[in-house]
Amino acid sequence: MPTAPALSPSAISPNSAVQSSPPKTASVPLPGSQPAKSAMSLKIYISGKFYDKEDAKISVYDHGLLYGDGIFEGMRSYAGKIFRLKAHLDRLWDSARAIWLEIPMTKDELAKVVNDTLALNGIKDGYIRLVVTRGAGALGLDPNRCSNPQVIVIADHIQMYPKEMYENGLSIITASTIRNHSAALSPRIKSLNYLNNIMAKIEGLQAGCVEALMLNAKGEVAECTGDNIFIVRKGVLQTPPIDAGILEGITRDAVLDIAGELKIPVQQIPLVRHDIFIADECFLTGSAAEIIPVVKLDNRVIGDGRPGPLTRRLTERFHQLTRE
């Protein structure tokens, strides 16, 4: 079966002006979501060229669209510097190897593209979405029939949660949707197929919560739909281990590094919901979310129902670290 060619928008040079027309209809955000800042003149990188946001397109035959066959990274920039870029690229390459996908450029080349995309869009404090798709192929699963993996870099702004949730803490629920079994699709692969997380996210939203806790097949705590989870119990920082079926989060690793620096005891051990119910503090970490406190799980108050002192201390040091 012949493959369909990629759509061919007109490339623009970094210095060219772009005239963008406003959208005809306004989107309605899900409960708890926050729209990104207006980005009508954003430039999107796709496989060697920059395009106006409205013209940034790939083939509808791309297996990234048809089957979620691809990988991605979400990164933050602070004062024009991407936080832990090397760690993000290393994880991207690990994900690619795990799904038998060859990224058509080197890490150094991709790092330059990411920085160029930030600079072109004039973004200092922002969010970068890096995507690699399998490429256009036939209407079938065979990856051998795909060609030209597409590398996409989007630089924009993101606000995961309102400011008051960072100040007062989140209320979350436990989703009935369990985290993918590692023998089926490893949660360590940051793939374009996020339906497992989305189904749990929908449960949270339907319950009036912006996040939801996911358990693994053993009934142990894994992670939330978009964030890793930590608790504090008697001065000890605890978080599920990698083999609990979690993404090895970049912000999670940063918090572990900070804990070591501040001489805070850390345990990476299996946890169950009971451990969260009796915890003194709880918080979530993620590149987009950064560090956000949790004060309730399944309507049960955690600690005294307010963000705890260790959470605040780690958050303060994390914000310092992002500017170093």
Torsion sign over Cα 131, 137, 140, 144: negative
Six token digits for residue 152: 């996409």
Residue 41 confidence (pLDDT): 80
112-147: pLDDT as tens digits: 999 999 999 999 999 999 999 999 999 999 999 999
Confidence bin at 26 (pLDDT 50/70/90): very low
Q: DSSP secondary-structure letter at 187?
A: T
Structural domains of the chain in order of their starting residue, each with its CATH number? 43-156 (3.30.470.10), 163-322 (3.20.10.10)
Q: Which two tokens stand for residue 81?
A: 């510097």
Distance separating alpha carbons of residues 114 and 126, to the nearest angstrom: 12
Residue 77: band (very low, low, confident or very high) from pLDDT cuts 50, 70, 90 = very high
Gap between the Cα atoms of 222 and 99, Å rounded: 22
The residue behind tokens 């209407």 is: 139
pTM: 0.86
Bridge partners of residue 252, in order along the sequence? none
> Which residue carries 């989107």 as its tokens?
27
Give the rounded distance of the alpha carbon of 109 from its chain centre: 22
Each residue of 235-283: pLDDT tens digit? 999 999 999 999 999 999 999 999 999 999 999 999 999 999 999 999 9
**Quick check: is 296 catalytic?**
no
DSSP state of 191: B
Residue 40 pLDDT: 56
Give the whole-angstrom CA distance, residue 10 versus residue 22.
19
H-helix or E-strand containing 225? none
Q: What is the pLDDT of residues 145-189, one digit of tens each?
A: 999 999 999 999 998 899 999 999 999 999 999 999 999 999 999
- 200-246 pLDDT, tens digit each: 999 999 999 999 999 999 999 999 999 999 999 999 999 999 999 99
Beta bridge partners of 300: 297
- Which of these ranges, 17-21, 39-43, 56-60, has the smallest mean pLDDT? 17-21
Burial of 300 per CB tally in 10 Å (0-12, 13-18, 19+): exposed
38, pLDDT greater than 60: no
How far is it, in rounded angstroms, from Cα 255 to Cα 314?
7
Catalytic position from the list 53, 163, 190, 218:
190
